[in-house]
Structure 1
């Protein structure tokens, strides 16, 4: 059994290259199958030579006529029983093809070109020259691929089987923004969130300009009230302004609540969005530093918004790589700001940095092994602004990309 899932490699593979590599992998699996059949049947006590293995691979060429006949029968609406009879009439040396119709077998055909992302970026030919070479066997192999696809379609009709990719496309829901990622204060539920302990993070003290000392935070200005874990085929911006979400529900009530939303966007063939919602009841005008940030220009905001990361559970290497050092996100990544009546949303575009995009794309597959804690704050640079205070914290428990919710328009 061979499972192929290109995932993030799709961004680097041309359509022709992805199909070529997939076909070559399937070709080798077919060769192994012929090898095991021969070893079990014709040659029970003798070792199979490499020449015979090559012969098994080349069986594809002599089987072309049989495959074309089978495809013609299927396309003409013949029954599965007629297909089996036609296969039984094939020469005995091709008897392994009969196994393709066994009920116990599942077949997944090489995807058509439209199944791959049409990307203009490809690998440098210096690294993989054979990837772009024209394979003279392509026509024969594609004919066999059509045959396997027809058999797979029959299996779909018989068993009511549905491809995982089709399920992913159909499980989209009209999101109730703010409720797609569950809260779990016990920190035991996988793929959930809760607020992190503020004392985990160090912030600038009242006399920081003189002694450069930092102290453990004692609390947060805002309360984390919701989180979203979304996936889409495009970047999802301004979640706070969408109808049906938690922000607009409070806005309709006309209360004093103000929301601060951090929307971390991870691009790729599928774009993931992790949105964290923080709320406060205190008037913004009573907090000069926050007020200036909310109403300032993008340059001012980029120079002040700060993130403190912490991996509380994960491998030693990951913990050491991330550390707990605060960083000004706007100095490294592009941040898009969306201002509403009762909210400010920060869309942090991970794709704006080649390095960050590569690292996060690789990390996505390991999120379910990590517990990530973060704190957000506005950096205090003057004596009047000190001491610093945390806007909010979060703890993300074993996030799983497969459990993200598809945004359906």
Structure 2
């Protein structure tokens, strides 16, 4: 299991840049609900995280509340306090319990409050979504750290489930943390607190500034260009350098776009979380320092946590001789990938609350995208981020400038937008406090003190569940009182380290023969799969340009983990898919359609399908009005080796499947902004959205609920607007995390060629 190096914030007395040590208790008392000592008997690390968050909810009389609380996670145990327990020995938690393997964490994005911006996390039970609740952080970076911390706790719960069995897990469910119900009386001190990662600066910084936590995640350190897991159709050519920033033109014969694509690329000395917060900020005094065009911004409407509309003005004298003031309206939509990279889409818009203004000429800002990706240059410990600003402009103006170079490109709106990258670079260089690291505190165990994290009820069993607590919002004793919150000591910035799984190996490209040898029972007679026996509602393509159809591309357009990935992060070109795509269904229904394979008229229930050793059914549930279901059926010619990675995935736990089920998207043809929004990075679907698994007979069905994530809903909404002009490639695989599982291989692929929603068959 991945562990975390734990460094809570320094005390005020700590010297600049030094690390001070604070002693806590280590007496080895059991985890909540555990009968073993230390780490709960699992043999896994009990390192954890701690920091200040807001607990959000609605109380019994319907009033919303936002309480500042100190959250501690150790192993799978979670506790919530009114004050920092490391500075208040003996303080009792107001909420406590354990995280179950069915916990899901969803990032709801930004929420504007009267006190500033918050980034909200929603918790819910995958099996019962009425069990839910929310906490909030001061910036997206801290939200990401809490997601990682809860994922560590969930992995611990999954490990215990696998090693101790279902009956033990059933008893543990009675001890799940409840942040919304009654606070049980505590009569026992929980000891054995290991080192803690301190997340965030403390209560006095929660709303206004980021924590600038250093993340040392294993990522591909490729320095230039786009970093994805599928080959893109763009062909970028360097054109010119402005203010030290490179300008590129896309010279590929792209389809689906109306203009010329340009991009500026630069390296900014800050992490992506910090750059994202600056780009999204509407604080004009800060924007004046790096943005000459869109500095005066006013938030018009917040659509959701990932989508808003802004209004702005600018002085034209900086760009032209015209004296008339200009104003504009554009929408912003943003996403954060599982690798921590951000994408921001900016599109000209209209809004009823911002009609044309007297004395101003309404203009359109070029459609553009921001892409922020972390860089880890070898030998460097300072944060760096590759910033790419891409936009579309008129081909006639750009062609004239290239031919004569006497057009005033440097006085155009497009140039002002591209120059924002240079402005950001200089802004962060001139403000080192935005990225500097303050002293850290390492919390180490000692015998003299103790923190109350676990407890048991007098005369009854603990019956607290984490997501329940966040939702109900009832208050007991003095929990709602914040009278002593001002006693919380101020905290400094901290470093965060995540030691990822890394095992050495040898690089090699997977071949279908080698994959079949390890994943399938090769000494069995293969079954002949005749495609004519299987017909879905979406037809197979007859040619490359056949609309509203599907085909099965090879794996050579996708990049997957090579044999040495755990040591050098090398990816190799994918080979032929292991499973054969035999049919695709395109349904629509008023409600979400689960368990497609059990439908009497399903392809899986046919006599021909029952003769196939194994069928993998992928049911992508697309939220819309009506809802759509894209169902893909993949078949194996031989039985699956039960000891292989695929065999362990088929018959494994849901938590194991969630941690391994991976999809790589690629928009082969289509509007460029949709391409940038979807990207080409691999996504662990079980971590991004809710996946439900149905294992019966000779098949495994995976129902992917895209509507369970607000981010996924936002992206799919954009895609559906252009779907009839898109050619989309998807690759499905199981993520390899151990040396013996490498290199990765592709389970199956599909190409969707300009699918028409109107052609979907009603259920």
- 1:251-262 to 2 correspondence within 5 Å? 254-262=610-618
Matches within 5 A, 1:185-204: 185-204=542-561
Secondary structure of 2:624 counterpart: coil
The aligned residue for residue 578 of structure 2 is 221
Does 1:354 pair with 2:706? no
Asked if the contact 2:610/2:698 (under 8 Å) is kept, the reply is: no
Which runs of 5 or more structure 2 residues have no equivalent in the other structure?
Answer: 1-302, 305-350, 354-532
Aligned to 2:653: 297
Mapped pair 1:273 → 2:273: no
Deviates more, 1:278-287 or 1:329-338: 278-287
Contact 2:612–2:635 (CA under 8 A) maintained in structure 1: no
TM-score normalised over the length of structure 2: 0.30
Quick one: distance in 1 between partners of 2:677 and 2:717?
A: 16
Ranges of 4+ aligned residues in structure 1 off by more than 3 Å: none
**Aligned runs of 1:384-395 on 2, under 5 Å?**
384-395=740-751
**2-structure distance, mates of 1:249, 1:391:** 23
What CA distance in whole angstroms lies between the structure 2 residues aligned with 1:363 and 1:300?
30
Match of 1:158 in 2: none
User: Taking structure 1 as reference, are residues 280 and 177 closer, same or farther at Cα in structure 2, changes over 3 Å only?
Assistant: closer
8 Å CA contact 2:674, 2:718 repeated in 1: no
Classify the secondary structure of the residue corresponding to 1:293: helix
Distance apart, 1:202 and its partner CA: 0.7
Q: Which structure has the larger Rg over C-alpha atoms?
A: 1
1:218-257 deviation per Cα after TM superposition (whole angstroms, max 9, x unaligned): 2111000100111011111111122232211147x75243
Instruction: Name the counterpart of 1:181.
Output: 538
Instruction: Describe how 1:133-144 pairs up with structure 2 within 5 A.
Output: none
Unaligned runs of 5+ in 1: 1-122, 130-175
Aligned counterpart, 1:8: none
Give the drift of 1:359: 2.6
Equivalent position of 1:329 in the other structure? 685
CA-atom RMSD in angstroms: 2.3
For residues 7-406 of structure 1, what are the structure 2 equivalents within 5 Å? 179-250=536-607, 254-285=610-641, 288-406=644-762
Q: State the secondary structure of the residue aligned to 1:399.
A: coil
Go from structure 1 to structure 2 and tell me whether the alpha carbon gap of 1:239 and 1:352 turns closer, same or farther (over 3 Å shift): same
CA distance in 2, matches of 1:268, 1:320: 22
| Structure 2: distance between partners of 1:218 and 1:177 | 25
When residues 397 and 287 of structure 1 are mapped into structure 2, their CA distance, relative to the original with a 3 A threshold, is: farther
CA distance in 2 between counterparts of 1:261 and 1:177 reads: 14
Is contact 1:187–1:193 with CA below 8 Å preserved after alignment? no
Instruction: Call closer, same or farther: CA 1:227–1:256 in 2, change over 3 Å.
Output: closer
* Distance in 2 between residues matched to 1:187 and 1:286, nearest whole Å: 37
CA contact (8 A) 1:177 1:239 kept: no
176-185 or 196-205: which moved more?
A: 176-185
Q: State the Cα distance separating 1:389 from its structure 2 match.
A: 0.6
Contact 1:312 1:371 in 2 (8 A): yes
Structure 1 counterpart SS, 2:749: strand
User: 1:178 touches 1:277 (CA, 8 Å); kept in 2?
Assistant: no
The residue matched to 1:198 in structure 2 has which SS? coil
| Contact 1:266–1:361 (8 Å) recurs in 2 | no
- The answer to whether the 8 A contact 1:192-1:396 is kept is yes
Contact kept, 8 Å, 1:220 with 1:392, in 2: the verdict is yes
More strand by share: 2
Describe the shift of the 1:235–1:203 C-alpha distance in structure 2 as closer, same or farther (beyond 3 A).
same
Q: Is the 8 A contact 1:180 1:228 kept in 2?
A: yes
- Partner Cα distance (1:266, 1:336) in 2: 14
Contact 1:250 1:257 in 2 (8 A): no
Paired with 1:344 and 1:264, the residues of 2 have a C-alpha distance of: 14
C-alpha displacement at 1:287, in angstroms? 6.0
State the alpha-carbon separation in 1 of the partners of residues 687 and 612 from structure 2.
Answer: 32
Retained in 2: the 8 A contact 1:196–1:374? Answer: no
The answer to whether the Cα contact below 8 Å between 1:378 and 1:388 also exists between their aligned partners in 2 is yes
Counterpart contact for 2:554–2:577, Cα < 8 Å: no
- Deviation per residue, 1:278-328 (Å, 9 max, x gap): 111221126610011011111110000000000000122222222211110
CA–CA distance in structure 2, aligned partners of residues 351 and 395 of structure 1: 22
TM-score by length of 1: 0.54
Give the drift of 1:204: 0.9
CA contact (8 A) 1:206 1:387 kept: yes
Q: Contact between 2:534 and 2:582, CA under 8 Å: does it hold in 1? A: no
User: Aligned with 1:359: secondary structure?
Assistant: helix
2:345 is matched with none
Residues 304 and 405 of structure 1: CA distance in aligned 2, closer, same or farther (over 3 Å): same
Match in the other structure for 2:229: none
Q: Is the 8 A contact 1:306 1:328 kept in 2?
A: yes
CA distance in 2, matches of 1:203, 1:128: 47
Number of the residue aligned with 1:20: none
Q: CA deviation at 1:396?
A: 0.2
Residue 198 of structure 1 deviates from its aligned partner by 0.9
